[in-house]
Amino acid sequence: VGVKIKKALSRGAKVITIDPRRTRRARLSQLHLQLKVGSEAALLQDMIRLLLKEGLYDKEFVARNCPNFEEFSQSFLEEEAEDRTGVSREDLVEAARLYAEKGKKAIIIFSSEIGDPQLISMIADLLMLTGRVEGGAFPCLPLSNLRGASEVGALAEFYPGYGEVEDVDMRKEFEKRWGVSLSTKAGLTAVEMIEAAGSSLFGLYIVGENPVVSFPDTTRMVKGLSSLEFLVVQDIFLTETAQLADVVLPGISFVESSGTLTNAAGRTERLNKAIEPLTRPDWQVIAELSSRMGYPMKYRSETEVAKEKKALVKGSLEPRKYRFELKELDSGLESVSEEPDREYPYMLMTGATLFSLGDNFRTRRSKISLLESPGDGYIGMSPEDAQSLGATDGTRVSIWSRRGNISSTVKVQEDLPAGLVFMPTHSLGYNILTSLSLDCSTRSPRFRLWAVRIEKEQP
């Protein structure tokens, strides 16, 4: 996506970047809204208010499709405007007018923002106001088959094809196909499973995930997984999570896999293995386990699995304009991060870098290191913050949060504003600092911002 944005810029496209950091993409953009960290939803709320005040919305589209528009508009216009974002009014007006101009517009949402329901709600409002509901927003999912996994039932509250658990007709269809009685209640999310471990949940089977490293609050993850009576992990490496398991099953990599992927646009893509695996494919392992537990799965190939998916997940291969009924969320904005104070004066942001993939457990095992900072990663600081700490590139520091502390190396970064520090997700142990909380309306985890303090280590 980043490459396509750069190509669009070279062809004269107008790009607005919303980011607290002055990244390379931000420097190349026509307009960079360098907002206060964590205030993205508030910025879009202010932008919507401007569109309403200046009449820059699509009045015909709104009249046809937004029956509660007057109430919606009044709620925005009556709210007091305050400087919550740090963005000047001039820049905000320019951004609102640029987006309201006629022609094709796109909102690209990077993976760090996808889990913020307030921000997504504001983006939906912006699309409706400007009549750009078809192809107007593009979420960049962090994993290639995230949508595919969701479509086949990996979400706690849905059957395959996003059929809701409470939908009686949908449930009967799956019960008939599979010959079993299915639950009428939504299951637990991944985070809720960890919270329930040892109390109402006693066994867990983890496939291809390393929550000890990839989930926030490592201490809490280890405690929860260690509380289980029985833990099975299936992976291609002996990860930190696998080291806690009672049984470890071998997995296979994507180059050894065959099957299908569903990309973020909803298109199904064929995956052909490049080399033969040294162990059974994942689907065979799961089918064999199911058979030994009393429910035979008589698939003979990946093709048979794909055929069942096509029969049950009717919408996954069919392009449709509107697939889901939108659910109303609580109105208003709430903080999605901790607040800094005298004891913890900095805000920590985490994220991927160009040469790291996810938690980097696999990438850091490459014989040819792709990392810009191999080893334990780094803590990025603004020149002002580094100077006040008496630190330079390479200075060893201790980073403390309300949950724990780790050591790292300072990297002075010009793109960071004062008060904001950054750690890439390949930094070892960074999730000891982070906390894990759920959004009350969506039950999704908030992987966002945390308050920390930084101290120089004695030589």
Cβ density class 357-379: b for 16+ within 10 Å, e for less: bbbbbeebeeeeeebebeeebbb
Q: Greatest CA span in the chain, whole angstroms?
A: 68
Contacts of 421 (CB under 8 A, 6+ apart): 346, 347, 348, 349, 379, 380, 381, 385, 399, 452, 454
Tokens of 112: 């760090």
> CB-side exposure of 69: number of CA atoms within 13 Å?
17
d(CA 121, CA 115): 11
* Cα–Cα distance for residue pair 93/86, rounded to 1 Å: 14
pLDDT (tens digit, 0 to 9) for every residue of the chain, 459 residues total? 788 888 888 898 899 999 999 988 899 899 999 998 888 888 999 999 999 999 999 999 999 998 889 888 888 776 655 578 999 999 999 999 999 988 888 898 886 666 677 888 899 999 999 998 776 888 887 777 888 888 888 888 888 888 888 889 888 989 998 999 998 888 998 889 999 999 999 999 999 999 998 888 899 999 999 999 999 999 999 999 999 999 999 999 989 999 888 887 778 888 899 999 999 999 999 999 999 999 999 899 988 988 888 888 765 444 444 444 545 545 454 555 678 899 999 999 988 777 666 666 666 666 665 555 555 689 999 999 999 999 999 999 999 999 999 999 999 999 999 999 999 887 878 888 988 776 666 666 665 688 999 999 987
Angle, vertex CA 110, rays to CA 187 and CA 125, nearest 5: 80
Strands 405-412 and 396-400: antiparallel
pTM for this predicted structure: 0.82
> Cβ atoms within 10 A of the Cβ of 430, count?
25
Environment class of residue 95 by beta-carbon count within 10 Å: exposed (0-12), middle (13-18) or buried (19+)?
Answer: buried
11's tokens:
């062809």
Residue 270 CB-density burial (10 A; 0-12 exposed, 13-18 middle, 19+ buried): exposed
Q: What is the pLDDT of residue 316?
A: 46
Do residues 59 and 65 make contact, with C-beta atoms less than 8 angstroms apart? no
How does pLDDT run across 275-322, given as a tens digit for each residue?
999 999 999 999 999 999 999 998 999 889 888 888 887 654 444 444
Residue-range domains of the chain with CATH: 2-139 (3.40.228.10), 144-186+253-275+299-317 (no CATH), 188-251 (3.40.50.740), 346-456 (2.40.40.20)
Six-digit token pair at 57? 């919305």
8 A C-beta contact, residue 54 and residue 96: yes
Torsion, CA 115, CA 121, CA 127, CA 129, rounded to 10: -170
pLDDT value at residue 337: 61
